[in-house]
Amino acid sequence: MAIFGCERGGNCVNAAVIVSVIVGIVTALLRITATITVTPAFLWAVLGVAVVYLAVTLATAPWLRSVSNGCGVRVALSALLIGILGTILLSIVLLAITFVATSVVGAIITGLLALFFSLTITATACLVKRIVNGND
């Protein structure tokens, strides 16, 4: 089961996606029950982290391409970029629109934000693991 099209080397990213989905579902459930709230300060912080991640990823992309030809690095980098772009998009949406604490749509978008942000963090760990351990 290779989500991103790589038969070998995608296990870490598959695990990252599964963990991120679980984090997103738990966050959405906590938001719909009004156990947690999402403040603008948190959204600005998540947006800032994602923008910094994007800048660092774009700055190091040529180096990553020259260092590795392996499928594992490409898969981890793809997952990282998906997580970063999803985090940026959804944090901007949540900053632009105010939702009620028990809104279903707000809970879904918050869950998706948590999913993409945790995918960013876990895909970074997979990318570092692939770079350190080599292509396999």
DSSP 94-116: HHHS---TT-HHHHHHHHHHHHH
- The whole-number pLDDT of residue 111 equals 94
Return the pLDDT at 1: 43
Contact by Cβ (8 Å): 99, 34: no
Q: What is the mean pLDDT of each run of 10 residues along the chain (136 residues)?
A: 53 91 94 86 94 92 73 84 95 87 85 96 89 70
CA distance linking residue 93 with residue 59, whole number of Å? 26
Q: Give the N- to C-terminal CA distance of the chain in Å, as an integer.
A: 16
Domain ranges of the chain: 11-133
List pLDDT tens digits, range 104-123: 888 899 999 999 999 999 99
pLDDT at 74: 82
Dump pLDDT digits (tens) for 55-73.
999 998 888 777 666 677 8
**In the 3-class helix/strand/coil scheme, how is 21-51 assigned residue by residue?**
HHHHHHHHHHHHCCCCCCCHHHHHHHHHHHH
What is the residue whose two structure tokens read 């692939």? 130
From CA 120, how far away is CA 82, in angstroms rounded? 8
pTM comes to 0.86
Three-state SS string across 72-92, please? HHHHHHHHHHHHHHHHHHHHH
Structure confidence at residue 131 (pLDDT): 82
| pLDDT of the residue at 10 | 59
DSSP-based three-state secondary structure for 24: helix
Please state, as a whole number, how many other Cβ atoms lie within 10 Å of the Cβ of residue 102.
Answer: 11
